[in-house]
Amino acid sequence: MNKSMLGVIDATTYHQSLEDLLLNRSLAAVPIAGRYRLIDFILSNMVNSGIHSVAIFPKYQYRSLMDHLGSGKNWDLNRKRDGLFFFPAPAIDSTDQGMGSFNHFAHHLDYFHRSKQKYALISNCNTIFTTDFNPMLKRHMETGSDITKMNQEQKSMEIYLMETSLLIDLIETREKTGYTCMKDVVEDASSNLKVCDYEHLGYVERIECIQSYFKASMNLLKPDCWKQLFRKEYPVLTKVKDEPPTRYQKGATVKNAIIANGCFIEGDVKESTVFRGVKIGSGSSVSNSIIMQKSQIGENCVLEYVILDKDVKIEDDVQLVGSPENPVVIRKGMIQGALMNS
């Protein structure tokens, strides 16, 4: 019996409240946990579940995403057969609303027709969790469902499993049925399709706003959340970079923080995530913050509840203080000086 699955990742999602982090990248490529991108989690889940063919459907600012994923080598998807595929939206279409747009899929219908996998797994790109999809497939087959949707605490995670032939039919008949996306199908009470739920147990975070991104980053500093997300049997794969170990100067202190490789720490860091290649000057204090790759923080600075995007430069004697509900966000490549705060 053919139990193979086809992976489909919708990377078109855009949330206005995340605008500061989405100016130069798609939501799927937003960095998290020191060295990962949001898409790494769902993509790793698929690969760890034995899925060897994954199609990614992006729309906005996807150059960074393509650079991160490359040929798919780090996920063992650089294959002669199947592998990793990119299918960008050919044009901005205002009718493409909802996760799993059938209009977007229709532009690349040949991919689905050529696929040999009997089942298709469709997912969003901005949910971080760890799972094996094979028990979900087993439940789908046992119940005889047309569509199985994954829930967490009875709330939809926008992850759907069905036969590939049914997905093709939904795409081809979209104008007749009026269905524009997967949500339309599963929420239609008059539909003849049998839709069943599959409950996911474990840690889940959906990134839809700055507050949820900040909350998820802070939660990963908790050992229990980290252990649920990063499990030895289901590794979270990402782009590999060769960098030297982080260097801690005399007088530097670090408490309960995620520190990536290649950093240079002279100041104090606590309850924070620091990405690769970050420099923190002497006398500076960083707490409850997210400092992305290659950002530089000068001397005698105070950063609390702050998100610095990549390549940000904070000059000496700067104070930036936000709150858990409203963290200060500095956009990629910006320079923040003491005079700017006065």
One domain for residues 77 and 221: yes
Same domain, yes or no: 251 and 222 = no
Please indicate, yes or no, if residue 158 is contained in any of the structural domains: yes
Q: Are residues 76 and 121 in the same domain?
A: yes
Query: Count of domains in the chain?
Result: 2
Inside any domain, residue 292: yes
Which distant-in-sequence residues (6+ apart) come within 8 Å of 2 by Cβ?
A: 117, 118
**Per-residue pLDDT tens listing for the chain (342 residues):** 467 999 999 999 889 999 999 999 999 999 999 999 999 999 999 999 999 999 999 988 999 999 999 999 999 999 988 999 999 987 655 555 678 899 999 999 999 999 999 999 999 999 999 999 999 999 999 999 999 999 999 999 999 999 999 999 999 999 999 999 999 999 999 999 999 999 999 999 999 999 999 999 999 999 999 999 999 999 999 999 888 999 999 999 999 999 999 999 999 999 999 999 999 999 999 999 999 999 999 999 999 999 999 999 999 999 999 999 999 999 999 999 865 554
Domain shared by 14 and 107, yes or no: yes
- The answer to whether residues 262 and 335 belong to one domain is yes
User: Residue 239: inside a domain, yes or no?
Assistant: no
The reply to whether 220 and 104 lie within a common domain is yes
Q: What is the pLDDT of residue 98?
A: 75
Q: Domain for residue 81, yes or no?
A: yes
Question: Domain with 301 in it: what CATH number?
Answer: 2.160.10.10
Spatial neighbors of 182 by CB under 8 A, at least 6 apart, are 98, 99, 100, 122, 158, 160
Length of the chain, please? 342
Is the domain of 117 the same as that of 196? yes
Other C-beta atoms closer than 10 Å to the C-beta of 334 total 16
Residue 341 pLDDT = 53
In a shared domain, residues 197 and 304: no
The identity of residue 161, as a single letter, is L
pLDDT at 339: 59
Q: Domain with 202 in it: what CATH number? A: 3.90.550.10
In a domain, 235, yes or no: no
Residues 214 and 278 in one domain: no
259: in domain: yes
Which amino acid is residue 112, in one-letter code? F
Q: Do 201 and 276 share a domain, yes or no?
A: no
Decide which of 172, 196, 229 is a domain's last residue. 229
Instruction: State residue 1's pLDDT score.
Output: 44
The parent domain of residue 318 ranges over: 247-341
Q: Are residues 57 and 180 in the same domain?
A: yes
Same domain flag for 285 and 258: yes
The last residue of a domain, from among 198, 229, 260? 229
Last-in-domain residue among 164, 198, 229: 229
Residue 148 lies in a domain: yes
- pTM of the predicted model, to two decimals? 0.94
Helix (H) or strand (E) holding 211: helix 210-219
Give the residue among 238, 281, 240, 287 at the shortest CA–CA distance from 263.
281
In whole angstroms, what separates CA 157 from the centre of its chain?
13
User: Is 241 part of any domain?
Assistant: no
